[in-house]
Amino acid sequence: MKIQQLEYVIAIAQAGSITSAAKNLYQAQPNISIALKELESEIGMQIFWRTPNGMVLTPEGESFLIRAKDIVESMHTLESDYTNRISNNIPLKLASARSSYIASAVGAWVEKIRPENRINISIIEVMTNNVIDCINSGKADIGIIRIPKNQLDIYSEQLSNRKISYRNLMSFYMKILIRSDNPLAKYDDIPFEELKNYIEIVHGDDEMNLFGRTFINKDYINDDNRNKICVHDSGNKITMIDFIKNTYMWVSPSTLGNIIAPDHLIVKKCSYADIEVCDIIICKKSKENNRIVKSCTDFIIDYTHEMHLNYKKRFNET
pLDDT number for residue 133? 87
pTM, two decimals, is 0.71
Mean pLDDT of all residues belonging to the chain = 85
What is the layout of strands, in order, in the sheet containing 228-231? 228-231, 199-203, 247-251, 175-179, 265-268
HSE value, Cβ hemisphere, 13 Å, CA-based, for 230: 7
pLDDT in tens, 91-131: 899 999 876 788 888 988 988 876 666 788 999 888 888 89
Q: Give the pLDDT score at 261.
A: 47
The more confidently predicted of residues 253 and 313 is: 253
Give the number of C-alpha atoms closer than 13 A to the C-alpha of residue 1, restricted to the C-beta side. Answer: 13
Confidence of residue 191 (pLDDT cuts 50, 70, 90): very high
Give 200's strand partners.
228, 248
Chain CA centroid to CA 190, Å? 30
pLDDT tens column, 145-164: 999 999 999 999 999 988 89
Please report which residue ranges of the chain form alpha helices under DSSP H: 3-15, 18-25, 29-43, 59-87, 101-111, 128-137, 152-161, 208-215, 234-243, 291-314
Range 269-291 average pLDDT: 92
3-state secondary structure 101-146: HHHHHHHHHHHCCCCCCEEEEEEEECCHHHHHHHHHHCCCCEEEEE
Sheet with 277-284, side-by-side order of all strands:
118-125, 89-96, 142-148, 277-284, 164-172
* Rounded-to-integer distance, Cα 225 and Cα 230, Å: 14
Q: Look at 21-30, 37-46, 53-62, 83-92 and tell me which has the smallest mean pLDDT.
A: 83-92
Place 316 in a pLDDT band, splitting at 50, 70 and 90. Answer: low
Categorize the per-residue pLDDT at 209 as very low, low, confident or very high, splitting at 50, 70 and 90.
confident
Question: Looking at the predicted structure, is the pLDDT value of residue 262 above 60?
Answer: no
Query: How far, rounded to the nearest angstrom, does the alpha carbon of residue 134 sit from its chain's CA centroid?
Result: 8
pLDDT per residue over 217-241, tens digit each?
Answer: 999 987 767 788 988 777 788 888 8
Which pLDDT belongs to residue 165? 94
Per-residue CA distances from 145 to 49, 113, 163, 169, 219 (Å): 36, 25, 16, 10, 23
Closest alpha carbon to 32 in 14, 59, 44, 52: 14
Domains of the chain: 3-80 (1.10.10.10), 89-168+277-314 (3.40.190.10), 175-268 (3.40.190.10)
Instruction: Write down the pLDDT at residue 298.
Output: 95
Residue 213: its pLDDT value, please?
93
pLDDT of 174 strictly over 50: yes
- Nearest alpha-carbon partner for 102 in 281, 251, 263: 281
- 62-96 per-position pLDDT tens digit: 999 988 888 887 777 666 656 555 456 678 999 99
Closest CA to 74 of 282, 289, 298, 281: 289
pLDDT at 312: 72
